[in-house]
Structure formats: C-alpha cells, structure tokens
Amino acid sequence: MSPWLLGWIGGAREGSFKIVRNLTSAELQERFPKLKPGTYTLISKATARYNCVAFVNDDERHWWEPGMYGGRYHWPNNNRQDTLENWCSIFRAIGYEETDNQGTESGYEKVAIYVSLQDMLPSHVARSDGKTWKSKLGKGQDLEHYSLEVFEGDQAEEYGIVTAVFRRAIK
C-alpha cells in the first residue's frame, strides 16, 4: 500500500511518529489543492483506528490493508497482494458491479478506487450514498466532497486518478 495510506497525518512515515490530529481547512487545502471552500464538509475527527477502505465498508474498528495480519488489521479475502484487481474483488464480492459513471446516482451507492500516478497501485477509495461522495483521509478526518476530482492529481498529497467505480442499488 502506498506510504500515504500508511502514514499520512500522524502515522509512521519513513521512521517518524507524530500525534494524530485534526487538520485545519487551510492545511487540508494545502495538501489537496483542488479542495476549495464550499467543495467539502468535515464530518469526523481524525483517528488512526480505521482507513479509507474500512470506512467505505462501514468498519470503524479495523485498518484494512492487504499484507497486514492480526490485531486491528483486516483484509476480507485471502489474497494479500496490493493490486487494483484485489481491491476491485472486494467490492464485486459484496454485490457491486463496475460502472463508467463517476457521478453520484440517486438510488445507488458507489465506491471509487484511486491509483497513484507514481506506482499505479491503489491509493484511496471513496464512497457515495447517491447524493455526495465521502472519504476517510488516511489517519485524518472523514469528509464529504462533491466530486471525485478534488483528490485527483499528483500535486502535494493528491491520490492520483480514479480508475474503477462500482455501484449497487441502495437497499
């Protein structure tokens, strides 16, 4: 998994440890240049308990990561390789189907998988409730955002590009 998911906002990154803390709006906008006032809303405090993959799967008790074992780490299948296909298989297994539509769709929940432009490995996943997108930013806050594009790019801490979107009917 990319170092971003492992260590953004307060985790271990290249041997350094920091306290997990809430970032200000200015700090978030510095790390994600496309986040502008009015394009997002903070919806939680920072926590290292769970990450974006856990968040989109409604699991706030575990950090989901292929290759990590035991304790608070979780990965839902036996394939421990960090590949786009492995991430996609998680969502197919729980009833999502792939779609080309990157917008929100009334009546459908969606997940969007980003890959890093440096190594083309999965770097982030966001979810939609049919009205807006939501993301867990590493060990940072959860936020609601109005498009997937606000996290795309290769500037500062941006996640890369959305390469897969899945949807399923809201129950």
Q: Where are the domains of the chain?
A: 3-169
Query: What's the token pair of residue 42?
Result: 């903070």
CA triplet 12, 14, 18: central angle to 5 degrees? Answer: 35
pLDDT at 8: 41
pLDDT at 78: 84
pLDDT at 12: 34
- Confirm if 136 and 50 have CB atoms less than 8 A apart: yes
Query: What's the token pair of residue 114?
Result: 């980003």
> What phi and psi values does residue 133 have, to the nearest 5 degrees?
-100, 150
pLDDT at 11: 34
User: Closest Cα partner for 128 from 74, 160, 73, 91?
Assistant: 91
Determine how many CB atoms are found less than 10 A away from the CB of residue 88: 18
Rounded CA-CA distance 102/151 in Å is 13
pLDDT at 18: 59
Q: Is the pTM of this model over 0.85?
A: yes
Residues of the chain with pLDDT under 70: 1-18
